[in-house]
Structures are given as structure tokens and as C-alpha cells.
Amino acid sequence: MVNINKSRGTLLSVNGKSNTIHRIGGVIVEKNKRKERRQAAENHDNSEIFYGRHVVMKIFKERKQINKLFIQKGLTGSGIQDILKTVKQQGIVISEVPKSKLDEMTNNANHQGVVVTLPAFDYQTLDDCFALAEARQESPFLLILDGIEDPHNLGSIIRTAEATGVHGVIIPKRRAVGLTGVVAKTSAGSIENVPVVRVTNITQVIEQLQSKGVWVFATAMAGEDMRTWNSKGSIALIIGNEGQGVSPKVQAAADGIVTIPMTGTTQSLNASVAAGVLMYEVARHRL
């Protein structure tokens, strides 16, 4: 959930909604709900899955856009080293998992310890976003998602982004859901009309946007009331992770902080709801 305009609570709660703490053999173990959400999103990672060492190497050579490489824990050999070398050169995300996970992903096929997942839709570039804004003769309006993990949230956000005239959605490579089949379905086709950019470092992207004259605003509990916020001109809006919000490092890189006022007892809004409220606030000044 996105905490907005309420007192900051601890990130760790005992038997709370965020985490569950229990003790095993004298060791405190945390069952983190964020990890569960990430696992659920990963299980629906892509509509396209390829496996086998020869096939994977061919994919690396022929296709630039790869979501993630899953590799079996403890796997060694020259063939694996070749794959890892290529992965390092291309900056592909690696997830080391048990053999049982790969068996599940491939329905017990002969995967040889390696599986790659491809995005349901191709990612675009920042230049594509600016080109779209220029084609529409509009000031750039961008959305930065700092670690959205739920594919339904991402799909809903993209759908609202298309409706409010957003020129591009920026997501990180790591610790976030990518363009999956679930995301595409939830977006109701909007994914085809909104460029989605996948980046390695969000703070570096913020600096790039600022150098192009884009004002970057994060969302947090303590900030300027959106009702008095000047959202005219070139704008990039940052929406944070469902459980943790915008990370401190990303928040520090922003030009300002925006808050959604709330009068009830609810301490948070769903990430896609918060994004929708703020996107329409920006769009209101552009209509």
C-alpha cells in the first residue's frame, strides 16, 4: 500500500499486515509479505518462456529484450560460464533458483538448468517518450514506478496512464514486475499505446529528465498538498512500491514531494489508486 499524508509507522510490525515475525530454534524469522508479492508476480513473469542451453544462447544473440535468466543453483561447466559471461555483458537480471522451480516453470521439460523469460511487449526508450510528447505538441508527462511488484497494479496504472495522456511509464529492472501477460490483460490494451521504459537505475534517469527540463515529483506522506501543487509544464511523477512507498534515495533525487490529502481513518491507498488520483490531477491542468 502507498502511505499518504499520515504518521509514519515502523516498517516492521509483529503479526501485522506488513510482516509476520516468528521464532524457530531461537532464531527470529521474518515472513515478509513483499517477498510473497514478488514471488507471485514472478510466477506470472511472462507469456514467453524458453529453456535449454543452446536455445538460451541463441536468444541472447538474436533478441536484445530479455526479462530475466533463471539458472539452477550450483550449476557449473563451460556452457554455463559462457551464458553467464553473455548475461553480464548485456546486463540481464539473473535469478538463481532450485531445480524444482525450473521444473515447475517448464512442466518438467529438459531445461538443462537454464530458463529465460521474455517480455510480453517490447520496452521502449526515453527518446520514444519525448518523441510521443513532441508528436502531440505537448509538454512531457512521465510516470516513474519505484518498485511496483503486483502485475495487476502495473496493468491498471498503464491503463490510467493512457487515459490521462501520459507519454511514458518508467520501471526498474530489479525488484519490480515487468511487462507480463497479466499486465497486458489488466491494461485492457493500453499497453500498446503507452511506451514503457525499463531502466537499471532510477536515480540516474531522474537526473537525465531534470537535465531536459522535466520537474520530478515523488509521492509521500509529508509533502505539498496536491490541490495547491503546480503540475503544469514538463512533469515526471514517482509512485512508490506497494509496501514501502518511494525509496529514500529516489525521493531525495526528486525536485519536490506531493501528498494526497485524506480525511478518513484509512492510512494508505492502493498504488494504482494513488497513481490514478495524481495522474488525473496533472491531466486536469492540461485539458
Question: Which CATH number covers residue 202?
Answer: 3.40.1280.10
Render pLDDT for 119-134 as a digit per residue (tens, 0 to 9): 778 899 999 999 999 9
Cα torsion 244, 247, 251, 254 to 10°: value is -110
Tell me whether residue 201 is in a domain: yes
- Same domain for 182 and 74: no
Confidence of residue 88 (pLDDT cuts 50, 70, 90): confident
CB-count burial class (<10 Å; 0-12, 13-18, 19+) for 80 = middle
- Pull the grid cell for residue 256: 519536490
Is residue 45 over pLDDT 80? Answer: no
Q: List Cβ neighbours of 63 (8 Å cut-off, separation of 6 or more).
A: 118
Q: Are residues 55 and 169 in the same domain?
A: no
Residue 112 and residue 130 in one domain:
no
Residue 68 shares a structural domain with residue 158: no
Listed in sequence order, the residues at least 6 apart from 60 whose beta carbon sits closer than 8 Å to its beta carbon are 66, 83, 86, 87, 90, 92, 116
Structural domain ending residue among the three candidates 59, 87, 118: 118
Same domain, 83 and 185: no
pLDDT in tens, 2-25: 444 433 222 222 233 333 333 333
Spatial separation of the C-alpha atoms in residues 57 and 73, rounded to whole Å: 19
Do 112 and 229 belong together in one domain?
A: no
Q: Which CATH number fits the domain that encloses residue 111?
A: 3.30.1330.30
Per-residue pLDDT tens over the stretch 169-218? 999 988 888 888 888 889 998 988 999 999 989 999 999 999 999 999 99
Does residue 36 sit within a domain?
no
Q: How many domains does the chain have?
A: 2
Write out pLDDT tens, residues 124-178. 999 999 999 999 999 999 999 999 999 999 999 999 999 999 999 999 988 888 8
Same domain for 101 and 81: yes
Write down which residue in 65, 99, 118 finishes a domain. 118
Residue 210's alpha-carbon distances to 21, 55, 149, 164, 251, in angstroms, are: 41, 41, 26, 22, 14
Distance CA 170, CA 204 (A): 12
Give the residue from 55, 53, 217, 195 showing the smallest Cα distance to 132: 195
Q: Is residue 19 part of a domain?
A: no
Return the pLDDT at 255: 95
Q: Same domain for 152 and 204? A: yes
Range of 67's domain? 44-118
Domain boundary among 87, 118, 149: 118
